[in-house]
Structure 1
Amino acid sequence: MTGKLKIRQIAELTGLSPSTVSRVLAGKANVSPQAKEKVFTHARNMGILRDIPASRLLMNTLLICAPPAAFSPHEDLYYYEAIQEITAEVSRFDIHVRKCALTVNDPDIAGFMQALSQSDVDGIIIIGIDDVMLYRLAAESNKPVVMINAKDSEMRLDCVSADHYSIGYSAAHYLFQKGHRPVLLFTDLRRETMMQRLDGFKRACLEHHIAFDEATHLLINKGNGKEQARESIDKYLREHKRETLPSAIVCGSTPIAHATLEALTAMGIRVPEDISLMSMDFAHEMKTATPMNFTSMLLPCRELGTEAVYILQSRLMRATSAKFNLLLQGKIHSGQSVADVKWKRKGLYPQPVGL
């Protein structure tokens, strides 16, 4: 059956004009939600949606739900950049973007439901929200939903996240290979993603035959800001003698890394000669003014937005296919804040037989 015959047949079944059916299947936005639903229903039954190019995103309005700070470039820049990428991706399809600000924990469920129930909302992207009830309501909306940096324990929603477990593992592994013992993880633990990084850090300790001890290997920051981090690291340094300080510190964010560098410098501790520092951030953060070119574990950022849109496209075409979690890898940026001290610690490493 040719394309024109398919359009004519759907028009007869729906009572819509062939031009309206054509606009729906072309992904145009100037079509009512009711018309789109009629066309999609028959197109799915006829197997037509499988033949539509994946480059089309058949939606009127996309709802983006995220913490309030994610919508400001002066607050949560990481999520802000991901949202900018989503907006850029969907702008190619003449799709309207609607935003809904929700707190990370205990979000406004009534506000979410009001935004979700708008008739022109055809898809939802949820960013950085931890709430089981919200996930359940989103899954029951019968609209395609993709989550960023979150995980649905009931496995009903598609998710795309940085592979935080591997990121925590790889950061610690990198420092252990450089000969650093002990290594301190300085991070906040407000979200499940941070706990996953901690689990990866612990796994690296295990593989390098290091018994993880919370008092030795973990410093928890109360938040993600620079001021709180400076208070935490100052207190830590006051309570530890110079000879008991770690060989290297993995900082959970750029603000934490900056605060740590300032605190160490104030005490006359050199980086990386005395203590090495490793940051976790993303490529955009690397462009900001910094007193040091940090060795960093770079997190995927804008890539999250790109992949979320592609997943949404797939879900619109294959509504009943299996849900999945897409994990994006990070990568190491070699800067000037980590020293290679393995040569100083040869006694820690078994010598090859015959040498």
Structure 2
Amino acid sequence: MTGKLKIKQIAELTGLSPSTVSRVLAGKTNVSAQAKEKVFFHARAMGILRDIPSSRLLMSSLLICAPAAAFTPHGDHYYYEVIQGIISEVSRFDVHVKKCSLDINDADISLFMKSLSHSDVEGIIIIGIDDDSLYRLASESHKPVVTINARDKKMRLDCVSPDHYSIGYSAANYLADKGHRSALLFTDLRRETMVQRLEGFKRACQDRHLIFDESEHLLVTKGYGEPEARQNFKKYLQQRSKAQLPSAILCGGGAIARAVISELKHHNIQMPDDISIMTCAYAHEMEEIKQLGLTAAFQPCCELGVEAVYILQSRLTRNVSPRFNLLLQGSIHVGNSVADVNWRRRELYQSHQIP
């Protein structure tokens, strides 16, 4: 059946004009929500939506829900870049973007429902919000919803995130490859995503037959602020002799890494000769990472927003498939802050040769 015949058939089934059906399937905005619902219902049943090209976005208005700091470049840089990825992608289409500011763990449900209930909102992206009641309401909205850097544990919503487990695993594995047998993970654990990174780090230690004792190899700070991280690390150093310090430290973010480097200098501890430093980082921190000479495990950023847009598109065209978690891999940037200490172990073994 040709495209024109399909449009004519849908027009007959819906009672709409062929031009209206055509506008809906072309992703135009000058069509009512009721007309779109009728066309999509029959188009799905006929398998037409599967043939819609990815160059076309079948929605006119998109709602982005995120912490307030995510909507300003002077707030949460990482989430701001994620949102720019979304806006950049939908700018190729005739899509209006609406914004809703919510707290991470205690979202304003009434504000969310007010934003969600607008008839022209046809897709929702939730960024960095850990609130199960909000997930439930979103899943009951009968609108396509994607979460970014969060996870619906009850499997109602699609999610796209950095593979935090893999990033933690890869970072620990990199340090092990360089001969480090004792590494400290210095991080914030307020969010589920950070816990996933910790689990990946622990698993890598287990696979490499390295001891990971949380009382010795995990240092936790609250928040990403540099002053608090520096205070926590200062206390950590005061409680240990130089011989008791790990050979490497993986920092959970740039602020933590700056705090560690600053405090090591204050105690005349050299990097990487005495202690190697590695950090988890974001794309907007690349220039600073290069200036500090840090080795870093980078996690995807703008790519999260781009993928979320096309997951929404897939839900509009094929709404019967199971929900899924899309995990995007990170990458390792090699600086000069991690020493290769394998030679130290070789020297140790040579001095204790078996007769």
Shorter-chain TM band = over 0.9
SS at match of 2:184: strand
- Give the match for residue 126 of structure 1: 126
- Give the match for residue 34 of structure 2: 34
Contact 2:289–2:296 (CA under 8 A) maintained in structure 1: no
- Give the match for residue 52 of structure 1: 52
1:290 deviates by 6.5
SS at match of 1:64: strand
Q: Deviations over 1:191-229 (max 9, x none)?
A: 001001111111111122222211210000111111211
Higher deviation after alignment, 266-275 or 208-217: 208-217
> For the structure 1 residues 348 and 79, does the alpha-carbon distance in structure 2 shift closer, same or farther, using more than 3 Å as the test?
farther
- Distance in structure 2 (CA, Å) of the matches to 1:302 and 1:345: 41
1:291 deviates by 4.8
Contact 1:54–1:314 (CA under 8 A) maintained in structure 2: no
- Give the match for residue 187 of structure 2: 187
Q: Deviations over 1:10-63 (max 9, x none)?
A: 233333332222111101122221221122122223322122223211001111
- Correspondences of 1:65-84 after superposition (within 5 Å): 65-84=65-84
SS at match of 1:209: coil
- Give the match for residue 218 of structure 2: 218
- Distance in structure 2 (CA, Å) of the matches to 1:347 and 1:300: 39
1:322 deviates by 1.2
SS at match of 1:190: coil
SS at match of 1:211: coil
- Give the match for residue 353 of structure 1: none
- Distance in structure 2 (CA, Å) of the matches to 1:332 and 1:310: 26
Q: Deviations over 1:212-267 (max 9, x none)?
A: 21121000011111121111111111222122111110000011111111111111
SS at match of 1:321: coil
- Distance in structure 2 (CA, Å) of the matches to 1:267 and 1:190: 29
Contact 1:21–1:39 (CA under 8 A) maintained in structure 2: yes
- Give the match for residue 339 of structure 1: 339
5+ residue gaps in structure 1? Answer: 351-355
- Distance in structure 1 (CA, Å) of the matches to 2:129 and 2:347: 47
Contact 2:65–2:126 (CA under 8 A) maintained in structure 1: yes
Contact 1:61–1:97 (CA under 8 A) maintained in structure 2: yes
- Distance in structure 1 (CA, Å) of the matches to 2:123 and 2:196: 28
- Give the match for residue 266 of structure 2: 266
- Give the match for residue 19 of structure 2: 19
Q: Deviations over 1:250-304 (max 9, x none)?
A: 0000111111111111111111111110010122211247751210001011111
- Distance in structure 1 (CA, Å) of the matches to 2:223 and 2:348: 35
- Correspondences of 1:1-355 after superposition (within 5 Å): 1-288=1-288, 291-346=291-346
Count residues in correspondence. Answer: 351
1:6 deviates by 2.1
Contact 2:148–2:304 (CA under 8 A) maintained in structure 1: yes
- Distance in structure 1 (CA, Å) of the matches to 2:73 and 2:120: 28
SS at match of 2:146: strand
- Distance in structure 2 (CA, Å) of the matches to 1:19 and 1:271: 68
- Distance in structure 2 (CA, Å) of the matches to 1:57 and 1:256: 40
Contact 2:187–2:220 (CA under 8 A) maintained in structure 1: yes
SS at match of 2:122: strand
Aligned CA-pair RMSD:
1.8
- Distance in structure 2 (CA, Å) of the matches to 1:216 and 1:172: 16
Q: Deviations over 1:142-187 (max 9, x none)?
A: 1111111111111111111111111111111111111113100000
- Distance in structure 2 (CA, Å) of the matches to 1:349 and 1:36: 72
The one-letter code of the counterpart of 1:253 is G
The one-letter code of the counterpart of 1:190 is R
Contact 1:33–1:60 (CA under 8 A) maintained in structure 2: no
SS at match of 2:224: coil
5+ residue gaps in structure 2? Answer: 351-355
The one-letter code of the counterpart of 1:79 is Y
